[in-house]
Amino acid sequence: MRSRPAAVAAALALFLALCLALPDRATSRMTAGPAAGIAQGNNAFGLNLYAALRAQPGNLFLSPFSIATAMSMVYSGARARTAEQMAAVLHLPSDLQQVQSGFAELLNTLQAGAKAHGYRLDIANGLWAQKDYPLLPAYLNAMRSAYSAEIDSVDFVHEAEAVRARINSWVAGRTQDKIKDLFPRGAFHPDTRLVLANAIYFKGTWASQFKAERTHDAPFTLLGGGTVQVRMMEQQARFNYLDAGTFQVLELPYKGDTLAMDVFLPRKPDGLADFEQGLTAEALAGSLAKFHMELVRLALPRFTMTSSFELNRELAAMGMPLAFQSGADFSGMSERSRELVLSTVVHKAFVDVNEEGTEAAAATGTGFKATAVIRYIEFRVDHPCFFLIRDLSSGAILFLGRLDKPA
């Protein structure tokens, strides 16, 4: 029996709601240019955010690219100290024009790569504004020109639930129904004035596919010491590989060789926490720069996972509390900026890994590489690991996560 298309399916969603403040509501091939800087900044932000979330038990999956894109759309309207805090947390240049041109170039690079190499990568941005709320023309123009945002006028005041269904439908449509019901009932209120969203969907096939007939049941050791039976995929092929002592790294490219999944496997079954503690953008880039081609006997479990987060507390604790307070300055969005605060940031992600390829989707909303003697390197993912999916041209990490227990 033929398996379903080999797929890693990932879906992420982030929502930032900008609402009226109420009194009682307190390594890259791209070596230069704005896009390279934005990609590097996004990676640093994403790993910092992962560090803030990793204390949560179990599987963990998110799209730093999607979150950073949505937050950048918010940053475009922030000013003064609010903008300074956001730039520091998001690792963005202080020059707003550089930020916007960098994101525009990065988005074009990613989508051009997909078109040229035959995988699917859809990225969409949207903005929904209260129909009678005066957003500045310059802000709307920036959303269109830098982010190719779809802009819609809606009525949160009288039809908040209908608008919620409308935005959820937009997210579902642009993630091939991988993200459904992003915003729960009651997420929007009559005081909601603006919702910004990013949706990303990726579908590709492995450059070296696994044969379904070789997939078999095998034990996977959990962090607590017990084991579970998983569907283990196996193949022997040449891959980029690194032995870093306490952990191994393997790169699995997708057809076209412009996107890849990198799997970081601790040597010890319970070594993931120690690995995570040393996980920084600099350490990650250093590991990825040391790859060499090896003949590898690879075993990788099939798995599916879903993660959901509310990110207000983490983002504020990372250094941008002003955006969530009544003193927030979003005067780059509206002349009535004193009314605006960032009220909600939600994120939802889904990933499915199997024999033939990868499918990934994400939505973000803001509302606010053999020797003469054949020798195989053993790379057996039979205990928890860290993994990411990245664009090899820009270096941008599109998705990252922790596999704690395959399901």
CA angle, residues 358, 360, 363, in degrees to nearest 5 = 175
Per the structure, the complete domain to which residue 326 belongs is given by: 14-205+304-367
The C-alpha atoms of residue 282 and residue 140 are separated, in whole angstroms, by 35
Q: Evaluate whether 110 touches 405 at the Cβ level (below 8 Å).
A: no
CA dihedral 295, 300, 304, 310 (to 10 degrees): -70
Q: Are 324 and 374 contained in the same domain?
A: no
My answer on whether 101 and 155 are in the same domain is yes
Token couple for 142? 């920036």
In a domain, 274, yes or no: yes
Whole-number pLDDT of residue 310: 86
Structural domain count of the chain: 2
The pLDDT assigned to 344 comes to 80
Res. 305 pLDDT band, cuts 50 70 90: confident
Q: What is the pLDDT of residue 74?
A: 95
Of 51, 121, 27, whose CA–CA distance to 315 is shortest?
51
Look at residue 232 and tell me whether its pLDDT is greater than 60.
Answer: yes
Q: Are residues 83 and 136 in the same domain?
A: yes
User: 229 forms bridges with which residues in the sheet?
Assistant: 219
Number of Cβ atoms within 10 Å of the Cβ of 246: 12
* Domain annotation covers residue 2: no
For 176, which DSSP code? T
Report if residue 67 sits inside a domain: yes
* pLDDT confidence band for 187 (50 / 70 / 90): confident
Q: Are 363 and 180 in contact (CB under 8 A)?
A: no
230 and 195 in a common domain:
no
**Model confidence band, residue 265 (pLDDT cutoffs 50, 70, 90):** very high
> Distance between CA atoms of 105 and 125, rounded to whole angstroms?
15
**Amino acid identity, position 14:** L
pLDDT tens digit sequence for 15-71: 344 443 332 322 444 445 789 999 999 999 999 999 999 999 999 999 999 999 999
Percent with pLDDT over 90 in the chain: 66
Strands (E), 57-119: 60-62
pLDDT of residue 135: 93
- Confirm whether pTM is higher than 0.85: yes
The residue ranking higher by pLDDT, 213 or 34, is 213
pLDDT-based confidence at 12, cuts 50/70/90? very low
- Asked whether residue 340 carries a pLDDT value surpassing 80, the answer given is yes
Q: Is 57 exposed, middle or buried (0-12, 13-18, 19+ CB in 10 A)?
A: exposed
Span 391-397, average pLDDT? 93
Q: Give the residue-averaged pLDDT of 372-380.
A: 76
Per-residue pLDDT at 373: 46
pLDDT of residue 181: 84
197-to-246, 313, 352, 371 alpha-carbon distances in Å: 39, 19, 23, 49
Type of residue at 59:
N
DSSP string across 231-254? EEEEEEEEEEEEE-SSEEEEEEEB
Domain annotation covers residue 286: yes
CATH code of 44's domain? 3.30.497.10
Question: What count of other Cβ atoms lies within 10 Å of the Cβ of residue 372?
Answer: 5
pLDDT band at 9 (very low <50, low <70, confident <90, very high): very low
Q: Distance between CA 268 and CA 49 in Å, rounded?
A: 25
What's residue 339's pLDDT? 80
Question: Are both 95 and 122 inside the same structural domain?
Answer: yes
* Average pLDDT score over residue span 58-86: 95
**What letter would DSSP give residue 113?**
H
Residue 103 has pLDDT above 90, yes or no: yes
